[in-house]
Amino acid sequence: MSHEFTTERKPMDAALRSYLDALPPAPVSPAASDEETTRVRRAVIEQARETRGSIPGLPNGVEAQDVSISTPTAEAPAPDLTGRLYTPQGAESLLPLLVYAHGGGWVVGSIETHDAFCRLLSEAADIIILSVAYRLAPEHRFPAGLEDLLAAFQWVEANAGSFGGDAKRLLLGGDSAGANLAAVTANRICATGEAARPAGLLLLYPVTDHPSAGHASYEENGAECGLDGSLMKWFWNQYAPDTPPDDPGISPLRLHALPDLPPTLVATAEYDPLRDEGIAYAEKLKKASVTVNHLHAADMHHNFPVHPGTVARFPQSVAALQDFAGWVKNLVR
């Protein structure tokens, strides 16, 4: 994985190609209703988390605690909003914090599916992580998840000291659709001052634009790359079917002028339908004079550094995790 983006395109890792080819298709009938499709896809991704137990070196020295989140200033957070705090053991001083939104197209995924990744990153970066169980579509469409992530960020800011965190070193991040929520929330915070400005922003293969933009990677990597372009379009239809595609609340790439944002890490993968919009957002940040570290995996696919099945198999996933951790440490040491 390179620390500066390059246009080099490598063949997909052969072991990854074999792994993806062996994955069974989601058992969803083309004639299934959106409700049935949602149920089946949630069940499939939750089953995938069972591979967490096979990940070599999964930390035992990270304490995990489920917490309730509340804040009087959020407009409409879920009344039962919860999250999971990951804390490295043995800290002798206040630790930096990361408020994290899991991926899953705003429809699937949970703090359970991202438990292994959060444990690994918490230990590797020596950072407290709050993984947020934000509300999912289609039951809770845009902007419910955004309101929940803002509420969680405000809650951590107000309560960091009670669980050993340093509110002055508070980061925001996520992967895929969760990175979309993180990017939009950061734009909102930095433009309005609704919370303290994040110290850093971690955007892993982010969703930054509506499919109607026609980015080439939707076609190049639209099938047989783990995340199908057609599935991504279905996710969008569950999350924001009635929102204009150019609304920067769902498409941060279309925000006319970015606010003063903190240093940002953007990770992209060559064989990802979201590749081009992630690259474009990194470039947009740079043009706005944001300090950007763009990490590009030239032979990997969407979700490669987070999904338990790939973390257990590919050295690129381990290297990416080390890169993320190193960036966090350098930023908030």
Instruction: Write down the catalytic residue from 115, 272, 299, 323.
Output: 272
Task: Show the tokens assigned to 63.
Answer: 């304490």
Phi/psi for 60 (5° steps) reads: -100, -10
Angle at 104 between CA 95 and CA 218, to 5 degrees: 120
Burial classification of residue 161, based on how many CB atoms lie within 10 Å of its CB (0-12 exposed, 13-18 middle, 19 or more buried): exposed
CA torsion sign, 291 to 297 to 302 to 305? negative
Calculate the CA dihedral of residues 37, 39, 41, 46 and round it to 10 degrees.
180
Determine whether 21 is an active site residue: no
Instruction: Write down the catalytic residue from 176, 217, 251, 317.
Output: 176
In residues, how long is the chain? 333
Instruction: Write down the catalytic residue from 302, 307, 317, 323.
Output: 302
Determine whether 209 is an active site residue: no
DSSP, collapsed to helix, strand or coil, labels residue 269 as: strand
Which 8-state DSSP code applies to residue 134?
-
CB 82 within 8 A of CB 145: no
Instruction: Name the β-bridge partners of 296.
Output: 2, 268
Q: Could you check whether the bond before residue 143 is cis, i.e. omega within 30 degrees of 0?
A: yes
Full strand arrangement of the beta sheet holding 264-271: 62-68, 82-88, 128-133, 95-101, 165-175, 200-204, 264-271, 292-301
- What per-residue string of b and e applies to 85-99 under the rule 16 or more CB within 10 Å gives b? bbbbeeeeebbbbbb
Determine whether 176 is an active site residue: yes
Q: Which residues are catalytic?
A: 176, 272, 302
